């Protein structure tokens, strides 16, 4: 009996989670303008026209490419900076390191909506408005604080002796980081990258406000272009949403194996 | 191989000084053990020799080079850490070969060297495994292999056996000693275990609170400890120490009992009288120069019998090769062997 209840609960939960996804697919495959008239759970009249229209009528591919570029750059740069900052904060004892950490954390607590206007003014002076670089820099500011904290955490979990041993074995400090510490925190690096990528990919605020020309929009900003003043093109929007969500899912599956830790066991004690 | 000279070495963390200007001279090929209670600065000194800790003032000389400011990689020193510090992502072979790889040595030569070393430490069959697949003792040997493959000028060991179980510890102790006899590399070995120090060292340096208390061969230190701290720290079970005033016949305890000395040491100064457990004899109660005490516990270990007795709240330990027939609660008299007595005044040895 308990097992049946258990199963029933799981099934119910699965339906709650999966149904919106399912309905997104159904709507994406409904002919334009007919989504409000669907009366059954299993639709009959299916079409791929909405997907085609994304490419033909809108620069969806261009937006996806922009998104990929922005997310990869923002996440990659944050990873490199976060890694070096986190390593320094974890390994070097310097005056004020704690204050640096707290300040970094504090900057993470500021909601991005509240820095939108100052950033806009700043980017305007720097000539970064309406550029991809501007969006990348904006996104780095969103990702970096947590990237620093995460990487500090990963390095803290590595015993210092490993790098000590490497340095006695002929490595410089940088060599010890490269040959010993880095390979051991790979799962962490993957996690930081995924976090940065998803944050940047999903962000709507910065690309929508810093970029005017449609050609430079990211997909997240592009998604809103289906919403007009008086009506919304639900079907193509759902189709765009599917295509928008896919890369992140693929990336996650791809990096998931790397994120599984456990490679550290056995080195010490 | 080279000698190591440590001159007036100091270490301070911010304003807190932990090593107060110590001098140690380790000869070429010597196996030197730093021993002391935790917090005595022995590991800090070792890490300064390795280059993992900066030197506040003083000098560390290896061979004829002052190495104070050399980065660790240029010191030509190998170290075995307490937690082994093996590289978890590398196989045993790659762990041992790592120092050679970092020097840019050819792969085929590395392979050969690794096999040679694996032979010495008895790990030939485990070369392809990863550290996580090894037992504690095997990991310890990999760490040693990684140290000897480089043929460095000096070895440093930082409490390498403290994570092993008792039996393995004794085994590894012998193996490290054997290895040293074979390759004769100058070695500094840090431990808090005085038995390890006694059994392994050519020379022991006893440290306490960042100062050298005494330095010498194990038996020198055992037979002639320089002060009450060394007397108590070296030897297991510990030496019995009695505080009293010096009189004509010997040391007079507070309750009037007199501990005999071979010759009078004059004055009425306060002094500490030390006698090792094996230098006490059971005599008839009432014998002059003996101490009466009540037996608390009798511990036979087979080879020896240990007797813990109490007198005025002070514990007295005595060990016997013979098997005395005393029982807990019995009143016995213990008489020290006057030729093996240690007499201290303050921090100095009197006899």
| Residues in contact with A202: Cβ distance below 8 Å, sequence separation at least 6, in sequence order | A220, A248
Say if the Cβ atoms of B51 and A167 lie within 8 Å. Answer: yes
Assigned CATH for B240-349: 2.40.50.140
Q: Which of B77, B82, B132 sits opposite A266 (nearest CB)?
A: B132
Measured at the alpha carbon of residue A24, what is the angle toward residues A20 and A30, in degrees to the nearest 5?
140
Most A CBs within 10 A among B14, B43, B88, hence the mutation to make, goes to B88
Q: Phi/psi class of residue A33: alpha, beta or left (left: φ > 0; alpha: ψ in -120 to 50)?
A: left
B contacts of A159 (beta carbons < 8 Å): 83, 85
Q: Of residues A46 and A103, which shows the higher confidence score?
A: A103
Do residues A232 and A240 touch, judged by C-beta distance below 8 A?
no
pTM listed for this prediction: 0.82
Say if the Cβ atoms of A167 and B79 lie within 8 Å. Answer: no
pLDDT at A210: 92
Say if the Cβ atoms of A168 and B79 lie within 8 Å. Answer: yes
B→A interface, C-beta within 8 Å? 47, 50-52, 71-73, 75, 77-79, 81-89, 98-99, 102-103, 130-134, 136, 139, 146, 150, 163
Q: What is the pLDDT of residues B37-88, one digit of tens each?
A: 998 999 999 999 999 999 999 999 999 999 999 999 999 999 999 989 999 9
Q: DSSP 3-state assignment of B332?
A: strand
Question: What burial letters (b/e) apply to B79-113, b meaning 16+ CB within 10 Å?
Answer: bbbbbbbbbbbbbbbbbbbbbbebeeeeeeebeeb
Using the Cβ of A161 and the Cβ atoms of chain B, whether some distance falls under 8 Å is answered with yes
User: What is the C-alpha separation between A116 and A135, in angstroms, rounded?
Assistant: 12
pLDDT at A234: 87
User: Count of CB contacts below 8 A, A vs B?
Assistant: 89
Q: Which of A162, A168, A179 sits opposite B72 (nearest CB)?
A: A168
B contacts of A162 (beta carbons < 8 Å): 85, 87
pLDDT at A261: 52
Residue ranges per structural domain of chain B = 4-233, 240-349
For residue B293, list its beta bridge partners. B332
Say if the Cβ atoms of A266 and B77 lie within 8 Å. Answer: no
Most B CBs within 10 A among A166, A168, A175, hence the mutation to make, goes to A168
Confidence of residue B19 (pLDDT cuts 50, 70, 90): very high
Q: What is the pLDDT of residues A62-99, one digit of tens each?
A: 999 999 999 999 999 999 999 999 999 999 888 888 99
User: What is the C-alpha separation between A223 and A171, in angstroms, rounded?
Assistant: 50
Using the Cβ of A269 and the Cβ atoms of chain B, whether some distance falls under 8 Å is answered with yes
Residue of A nearest to B92 (CA): A267
A contacts of B78 (beta carbons < 8 Å): 168-169
B contacts of A180 (beta carbons < 8 Å): 87
Say if the Cβ atoms of B72 and A162 lie within 8 Å. Answer: no
pLDDT at A263: 45
Domain B4-233: top CATH class: alpha beta
pLDDT at A264: 47
Q: What is the pLDDT of residues A52-61, one digit of tens each?
A: 888 888 888 9
Say if the Cβ atoms of A267 and B146 lie within 8 Å. Answer: no
pLDDT at A262: 42
Question: In this predicted complex, what is the ipTM?
Answer: 0.83
pLDDT at B136: 87
Give the residue-averaged pLDDT of B306-317: 91
Q: What is the pLDDT of residues B87-118, one digit of tens each?
A: 999 999 999 999 999 999 999 999 999 999 99
User: What is the C-alpha separation between B99 and B205, in angstroms, rounded?
Assistant: 30
Confidence of residue A269 (pLDDT cuts 50, 70, 90): very low
Cβ-in-10-Å burial (0-12, 13-18, 19+) of B182 comes to exposed
Using the Cβ of A39 and the Cβ atoms of chain B, whether some distance falls under 8 Å is answered with no
User: What is the C-alpha separation between B221 and B235, in angstroms, rounded?
Assistant: 10
Domains of chain A from N-terminus onward: 1-47 (no CATH), 48-259 (1.10.3720.10)
B contacts of A92 (beta carbons < 8 Å): none
Measured at the alpha carbon of residue B316, what is the angle toward residues B310 and B318, in degrees to the nearest 5?
125
A contacts of B82 (beta carbons < 8 Å): 161
Instruction: Sheet with B211-216: list strands edge to edge.
Output: B77-80, B154-158, B186-191, B31-35, B203-208, B211-216
At residue A110, does pLDDT exceed 80? Answer: yes
Q: Which of B73, B84, B132 sits opposite A167 (nearest CB)?
A: B73
Q: Which of B84, B89, B102 sits opposite A263 (nearest CB)?
A: B89
Residue B213's closest CA among B336, B340, B344? Answer: B344
Using the Cβ of A178 and the Cβ atoms of chain B, whether some distance falls under 8 Å is answered with no
Rounded to whole angstroms, what are the CA distances from B71 to A28, A169, A197, B101? 63, 11, 38, 18
For residue B60, list its beta bridge partners. B6
pLDDT at A260: 61
Q: DSSP 3-state assignment of B262?
A: coil
At residue A103, does pLDDT exceed 70? Answer: yes
């Amino acid at each position: 009996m308990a097992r049946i209840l258990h199963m029933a609960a799981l099934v119910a939960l699965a339906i709650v989670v999966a149904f919106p996804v399912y309905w997104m697919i159904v709507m994406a495959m409904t002919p334009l303008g007919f989504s409000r008239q669907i009366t059954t759970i299993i639709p009959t009249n299916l079409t791929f026209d909405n997907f085609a229209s994304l490419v033909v009528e809108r620069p969806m591919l261009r937006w996806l490419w922009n998104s990929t570029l922005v997310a990869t750059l923002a996440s990659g740069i944050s990873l490199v900076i976060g890694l070096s900052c986190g390593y320094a904060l974890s390994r070097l004892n310097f005056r004020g390191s704690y204050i640096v950490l707290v300040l970094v954390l504090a900057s993470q607590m500021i909601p991005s909506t509240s820095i939108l206007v100052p950033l806009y003014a700043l980017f305007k002076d720097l000539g970064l408005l309406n550029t991809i670089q501007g969006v990348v820099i904006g996104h780095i500011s969103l990702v970096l604080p947590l990237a620093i904290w995460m990487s500090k955490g990963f390095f803290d979990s590595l015993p210092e002796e490993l790098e000590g041993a490497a340095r006695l074995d002929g490595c410089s400090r940088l060599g010890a980081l490269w040959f010993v510490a880095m390979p051991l925190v790979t799962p962490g690096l993957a996690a930081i990258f995924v976090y940065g990528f998803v944050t940047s990919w999903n962000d709507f605020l910065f690309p929508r406000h810093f970029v005017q020309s449609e050609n430079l929009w990211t997909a997240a900003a592009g998604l809103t272009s289906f919403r007009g003043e008086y009506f919304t093109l639900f079907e193509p929007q759902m189709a765009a949403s599917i295509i928008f969500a896919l890369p992140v899912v693929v990336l996650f599956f791809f990096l998931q194996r790397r994120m599984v830790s456990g490679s550290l066991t056995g080195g010490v004690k | 191989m080279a000698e190591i000279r440590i001159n007036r070495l100091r270490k301070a963390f911010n304003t807190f000084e932990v090593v107060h200007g110590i001098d140690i001279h380790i000869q070429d090929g010597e196996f030197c053990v730093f021993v002391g209670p935790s917090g005595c600065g022995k590991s800090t000194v070792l890490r300064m020799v390795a280059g993992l800790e900066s030197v506040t003032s003083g000098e560390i000389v290896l061979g004829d080079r002052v190495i104070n400011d050399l980065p660790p990689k240029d010191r030509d020193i190998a170290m075995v850490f307490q937690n082994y510090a093996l590289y978890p992502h590398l196989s045993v072979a790659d762990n041992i070969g790592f120092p050679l790889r970092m020097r840019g040595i050819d792969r085929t030569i590395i392979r050969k060297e690794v096999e040679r070393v694996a032979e010495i430490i008895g790990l030939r069959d485990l070369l392809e495994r990863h550290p996580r697949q090894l037992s504690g003792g095997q990991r310890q040997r990999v760490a040693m292999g990684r140290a000897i493959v480089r043929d460095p000028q000096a070895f440093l060991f930082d409490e390498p056996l403290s994570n092993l179980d008792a039996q393995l510890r004794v085994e590894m102790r012998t193996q490290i000693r054997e290895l040293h006899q074979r390759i004769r590399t100058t070695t500094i070995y840090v431990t808090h275990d005085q038995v390890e120090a006694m059994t392994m060292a050519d020379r022991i340096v006893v440290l306490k609170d960042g100062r050298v208390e005494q330095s010498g061969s194990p038996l020198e230190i055992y037979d002639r400890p320089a002060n009450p701290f060394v007397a108590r720290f070296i030897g297991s079970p510990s030496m019995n120490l009695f505080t009293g005033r010096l009189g004509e016949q010997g040391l007079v305890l507070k309750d009037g009992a007199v501990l005999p000395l071979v010759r009078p040491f004059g004055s009425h100064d306060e002094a500490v009288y030390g006698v090792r457990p094996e230098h006490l004899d059971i005599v008839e109660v009432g014998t002059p120069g003996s101490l009466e005490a009540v037996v608390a516990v009798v511990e036979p270990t087979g080879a020896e019998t240990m007797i813990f007795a109490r007198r005025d709240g002070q514990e007295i330990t005595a060990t016997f090769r013979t098997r005395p027939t005393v029982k807990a609660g019995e009143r016995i008299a213990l008489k020290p062997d006057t030729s093996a007595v240690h007499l201290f005044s303050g921090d100095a040895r009197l006899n």
